[in-house]
Structure formats: structure tokens, C-alpha cells
A = this chain, B = another copy of it.
Amino acid sequence: MKTIADIAKLAGVAKSTVSRYLNGGSVSEKMKQKIETIIEETGYTPNTFAQSLKAKKTNMIGTIVPRLDSYETSQTLTGIDNELREWNCHMLVSNTNQNVDREIETIYTFAKQKVAGIILLATQVTDTHLQAFSEINVPVLLVGQQHEDVYSLVHNDEEAGYAIGKYIIEQGHRRLAFLGVSEENIAIGLKRKEGFKRAIREAGGCEVHYFETGFTMSEATAGALAVFDGFFPSALICATDDIAIGAVKAAYKKGMHVPANISVTGFGGYDITAMMNPALTTVKLHFIEAGKTAARNIIQLANGQEIPKLTYSGFEIIARESVDKRFVPG
């Protein structure tokens, strides 16, 4: 392995000159050429540790995820990794298994590892989080949740909730059930529901019941079974695709057909939703794009550049087979 000293000797200059060349300092045109050639020939690449030891910073971005085995995480990571590569940065990934303590712990660990920045696929932002952010000297970007004191990138959950609400009403449904998650999760539990409610208020004349369940498909199956217990909506709006998948399963268990007996919508746009029978109508969130944007944003922050405190990522309604059109009298 060549070092900067080897290159300097070959070029007949001091190490500092090579270093300056590497870092864009002032070097004569002639010398630049010479050093460039030698570096190419030798295939020299600087030792990142030695660099980091001085610069006290690496080219690694720490990414903290609540779980690895979800479509959202996978897609977002794909986007992040892809974009990071363009910037010659690496992605350090840590899975917290939805454990908040572990999340906090990882924030400090990453800081110790001197990552250039931290991307946190957040589920909630507690005071402990805020304290950690302020203690470490590393820029942090929240993805999926927002907080006024932290740089955030979110899917426009309120608008998306509104859009799916409006859509289902346009299809003639008036007797609705909303199967969501705990409001502790601001983006998914609260915002999506709020947007949906706004659409309901605007339309008027709807009967809506609200239910809460967990994030896993099997929890959702149980949750949906409870929905069908006594109340018979013509459409069931679910706060995530996994929940919708669980709900469809529950409907079948009850002997109900989707969408003949009940329409179901999801939220997310997971690939699998296209393959279901019937194919699921859902709100597609642009996770890969969001991941790329997140990567760009954190790199800008790491370089000391300013970015907006809050960035929105887009969405679109994907109308498929799981929603029936209903005739609305009058």
C-alpha cells in the first residue's frame, strides 16, 4: 500500500505538496500534472483513518432504522445508498428493532464513530432524542417524522390522507372505517388520519368509525376482525399497506369479498400490493426518491451548507381493484 510519502518521493516534492494537490490547495500546474500521473500509475488512495484522525470526520453517513424488514425501510435505504455513492460516501446502517433506547444509544455511538451525518428513519421524537441531537456535534436529518427543532424530510402525510379520503368519497362510499395506528406516531397515526378527516368534513354526510391497531400484518388482521364486529362499512381505509393486507385477510376469514362486500385501501405503495387479488388501491409514497433527497440533504448539512428545515416528499393515488364504485342516491 502506497502512502503519501511514497508519492511525494516519486514526484520529488514534499508530502505537503501532495496533500495540497489532493485537497485542492495551490500547486503549480506542472506539479499537478506530475502528481496526477504518479497517483494514477501507483493507484494510490489516501488512508481514510489518517485523514479522519486530523479532520475528525469521516465520509460515512450513519443511518438508523426501526426495522430492516419493511418495504419502506428497504426502499428508503436503496435511495440513500444510491445517492451516497455519487458523493463518495458510505452508509453505516443500524437497526434498532423499534427499541427507542437502542435508538438513542446508536445516535451516540455513531457520533463517536465520527460519522459525517446521521439520517434517522424516525418513529417518534422524544426529549431524549432532542438532547442527544444537541449533545453530539453531528448534523441529524429526520426522515418520516418531523420536529420543528430538527431538519426533517417527510412524506406529505396530511395531504396524502386527504387525497385518499377524497378519492374514496368520490367513489361513492359514505359508510367508512379508518384503521390506523397510535397517535404517538405523528406522521402515520395522526397526520394521515387528520388529512382523511379533513376530506370527510369537506364532503359531509359520512358515517365514519375509527379504529387502532399495530403495524404488523397479523396485528392488523386481528384489528380488522374487530372492525367487522358489529359495524359494516362499505370501505375500510388503512393507514399502511401492511395493515391493508392484514385487513383483506380478515375480510376473507369473515367470508367477505373484496371489493364486492367491502372496499379496502392501503398506504405506501408496496410492490406486493400490485400482486394481490384483488390488486390493492393505495397511496404510493416515493420512498426511493425520498431516500435520495435525504442523502443529498445530510451531505449538504455535513458540508455546512444550509437547507430548509422541512422538506416534503411526494405521493400519488394508485387506483386498482380493491375499491368498488358505489351509487350515491340523490
Q: Which residues of A contact B (CB under 8 A)?
A: 45, 47-50, 52-53, 58, 60, 67-71, 73-75, 77-78, 81-82, 85, 90-95, 97, 109, 112-114, 217-218, 221, 245-246, 248-249, 252, 271-272, 274-277
Q: B249, A272: Cβ atoms under 8 Å?
A: no
CA distance A48 to B248 in the complex (A): 50
Complex CA distance for A288 and B113, rounded to whole angstroms = 26
Do B90 and A91 touch (CB < 8 A)?
A: no
Which residues of B have CB within 8 Å of A70? 74
Further contacts, 10 of them, CB under 8 A, given A48-B113, A77-B93, A82-B95: A45-B112, A49-B58, A50-B53, A69-B74, A69-B75, A73-B74, A93-B93, A218-B275, A221-B275, A272-B272
CB distance B113 to A95 under 8 Å?
Answer: no
**A272 lies within 8 A of B248 (CB):** no
Residue of B nearest to A272 (CB): B272
Complex copy number for this chain: 2
Bound CA–CA A169/B100 (angstroms): 48
Given the complex of chains A and B, what is the CA–CA distance between A77 and B70 in angstroms? 12
Within 8 Å CB of A53, what residues of B?
A: 47, 49-50, 53
Partner of A81 from B52, B75, B95, B249 at Cβ < 8 Å: B95
What is the distance, in angstroms, from A131's C-beta to the closest C-beta of chain B? 15
Q: A82-B95, A252-B277, A277-B277 are in contact. Are A90 and B113 (CB under 8 A)?
A: yes
Is there contact, CB below 8 Å, between A246 and B275? yes
Give the distance in Å from the alpha carbon of A217 to the alpha carbon of B271 in the complex: 9
In the bound complex, residues from chain B placing their C-beta under 8 Å from that of A73 are 74
A94 to B91, CA, bound (A): 7
